[in-house]
Amino acid sequence: MRPDDCIKGPVSNAQNQFRIQRNGGVLDAPTHCPYRQAYHKDRQAAFCGLLVLVPGEIMKPIPFNMKGTAYALTIKIATYPEGNLAIKLYQESFGQLIFWDSLTVNLGGLCPKDCGFINTKSTGKRFYAWIKRNGLGERTGQVRLEGGVEYVEYLFNAKKLKKLDPDGYTYYERRLKGELGRKYERLYQALRRLANHIPDFRYTDYSGWRRLSDSINTPPLWIEAEDPAHHRHLTFEHRGVILRTTITDCDTDTVQSNLYRLRDDMAADLLTLYQGELPVYAPWSEERRRKSDARHDPSLAQTFKETSEVRQKAAKKKSRKRSTKS
């Protein structure tokens, strides 16, 4: 733990009562602050600023157990240079907010909104259970291998992050770059659903929109998926005006190629392939649908009836007032 990771500031008598002051999205402190020389550095996040702890807002830390030791960790939201989500963990000690570890790592390229790869170098796979237990996010199904280490991508709970660090998450949203623009959103949703319900289903995203290194000539969509349970290898591509899904049977080496004109058709066809294995939710009963419609979308006849009754009552009141005046 480095000394310059320590963020000092005035602290109230109760622990964990503090808030972060930001100036235009950059962490800053007043010029008259005696702790201005203390600043936080993080090479991965590639930003520097000042965290000033002032009394006021209560930010409840989240417990984390590792090797028999319990840590009370406070989550802070930041951004990497490309605009990707950066989640930093801090521990308060004697009125000081000390950098503990990074929950996410920056592997280069752009990530979808609220997505990030989990840091497993220092804590192993303990973060996976911690994220699930606290409802912070879920796996997307994408796995990347960098330097012999396997990194798993997670889709984080935006509402939870915003509640834990409203200022940091707002700044992340404003700086976000490389958003999908909902272009391939249905396909990514389908892949995440398969990753949650199909055993060992995973994929790696090499798409050109992510601006990975040496991706100048990469097509805007290029995803390689592995399905060991069914011995399949799937490839999703978008070249020019052609959308293509290639399904390879690893046992017989047979290749099936499907072409699409619409992006939504590609996602729908993928889910149809696993239709029998995905959970099916029971449709609403007629009584429940009728109650919902009556509560949210009343019929036109009922609306007209209520409107006419209100107008009749208003007309009677006016006629009574006129008769009393005369």
Q: Describe the strand order of the beta sheet including 62-66 as a list of residue ranges.
A: 6-7, 96-102, 85-93, 69-79, 62-66
The two three-digit tokens of residue 291, written as one number = 């109650």
CA distances from 199 to 23, 64, 277, 278 (A): 46, 28, 11, 11
The two three-digit tokens of residue 236, written as one number = 């999703």
> Does the structure show a pLDDT above 70 at 10?
no
Residue 41: pLDDT band (50, 70, 90) is very low
Residue 105: pLDDT band (50, 70, 90) is very high
- Percent share of the chain, pLDDT over 90: 29
The two three-digit tokens of residue 138, written as one number = 């879920």
256 vs 110, residue with greater confidence: 256
Residue 265 burial (C-beta neighbours within 10 Å; 0-12, 13-18, 19+)? middle
d(CA 142, CA 132): 17
Residue 292: predicted pLDDT: 61
pLDDT tens digits along 239-266 = 888 899 999 999 999 999 999 988 889 9
Total-model pTM: 0.61
pLDDT tens digits along 261-285 = 888 899 999 999 998 888 877 666 7
The two three-digit tokens of residue 145, written as one number = 């291998």
Residue 54: pLDDT band (50, 70, 90) is very low
d(CA 101, CA 103): 7
d(CA 176, CA 290): 42
320 vs 259, residue with greater confidence: 259
d(CA 305, CA 293): 17
Angle at 206 between CA 200 and CA 209, to 5 degrees: 130
The alpha helices in the chain, defined as continuous H runs, are: 126-133, 158-164, 166-175, 185-197, 263-273, 286-296, 300-325
**Residue 26: phi, psi to the nearest 5?**
-100, 130
Contacts of 58 (CB under 8 A, 6+ apart): 14, 16, 17
The residues with which 91 forms a beta bridge, in sequence order, are: 73, 98
Which contiguous run of DSSP H or E holds residue 246? strand 242-249
Q: At what angle do helices 185-197 and 263-273 cross, to 10 degrees?
A: 10
> Does the structure show a pLDDT above 50 at 56?
no
d(CA 222, CA 230): 21
Residue 59: pLDDT band (50, 70, 90) is low
Residue 304: pLDDT band (50, 70, 90) is low
User: Is 119 within 8 Å of 153 (Cβ atoms)?
Assistant: no
Q: In 3D, which of 13, 22, 93 has the Cα closest to residue 51?
A: 22
Q: Span 88-116, mean pLDDT?
A: 86
204 vs 322, residue with greater confidence: 204
Residue 217: predicted pLDDT: 73
Q: E-assigned strands of 33-136?
A: 40-42, 47-49, 62-66, 69-79, 85-93, 96-102, 104-105, 115-118
pLDDT tens digits along 132-165 = 989 999 999 999 988 888 899 999 999 999 999 9
